[in-house]
Amino acid sequence: MQALYNHFRDLMIEAQAKTDKSYELIAKKRATIKRLEKQIEKLEKNIYYYPSWVKEVLIPLGQRITERIGLPFEIYGPFGLACETSLYFRADMSKSICDQPTKHITVLPEFGDNRTFYLLYYTGERDNTYEDGSIGALNGFNNRRAPLPDDFEAILEIVNKNSVDGHE
């Protein structure tokens, strides 16, 4: 009988050694998986990063206009389906744009084919492409747009044309 017991004990020791080896391999594989998951997360952050047109285009434009007209600016937006965004220039940043004279420009980003990008602005003209009360009308799509000029002086003319006395 002792020989059978010893044989069974040897099988148990062998089985435990295999089990321990399996747990060791599982732990190594799990560590590898965690390391690879962290690498994947890092790579995914790069995939989902896109530069901000507000930060890279609109803020520098606002700063350049501020240098010329001497009024600080604030950005309102992006809003709506068209990402309509306004730059408001005013003397007193502690007062509402409704309570003081302002100058402004409202722009919309246009992402074209072949990764082209440019800004559109509202010309001040309207059409009736979209019915009153429709999503298109509510999102300003009846306001005519044109590409923002490349010429900085022409942009300044648009901003100066959009002056409001603050009591309308």
From first to last of its 168 residues, what are the pLDDT tens digits of the chain? 999 889 999 999 999 999 999 999 999 999 999 999 999 998 888 887 788 999 999 999 999 999 999 999 999 999 988 899 999 999 999 998 889 999 999 999 999 888 899 999 999 899 889 998 898 888 888 989 999 999 999 999 999 998 887 654
Same domain, 29 and 83: no
pTM more than 0.75: no
Same domain, 35 and 70: no
Contact 106, 121 (CB under 8 A): yes
The answer to whether the peptide bond before residue 147 is cis (omega within 30 degrees of 0) is no
Same domain, 157 and 74: yes
Instruction: Find all residues with CB under 8 Å of 1, minimum gap 6, and list them.
Output: none
- Say how many residues make up the chain: 168
Domain carrying residue 17: 1-49
Kindly state the helix (H) or strand (E) to which residue 36 belongs, with its residue range: helix 2-47
Residue 102, SS3 per DSSP:
strand
Number of structural domains in the chain: 2
Complete DSSP assignment for 129-164 = SS-TTSHHHHTTTTEEEEEPPS-HHHHHHHHHHSEE
Compute the distance between CA of residue 104 and CA of residue 60 in angstroms, rounded to an integer: 15
In order of 93, 101, 107, 156, the CA distances from 166 in angstroms are 13, 4, 21, 20
Same domain, 44 and 106: no
Q: Which of 26, 49, 72 is the last residue of a domain?
A: 49
Same domain, 60 and 33: no
Same domain, 109 and 158: yes
Instruction: Find all residues with CB under 8 Å of 86, minimum gap 6, and list them.
Output: 75, 76, 77, 104, 105, 106, 107
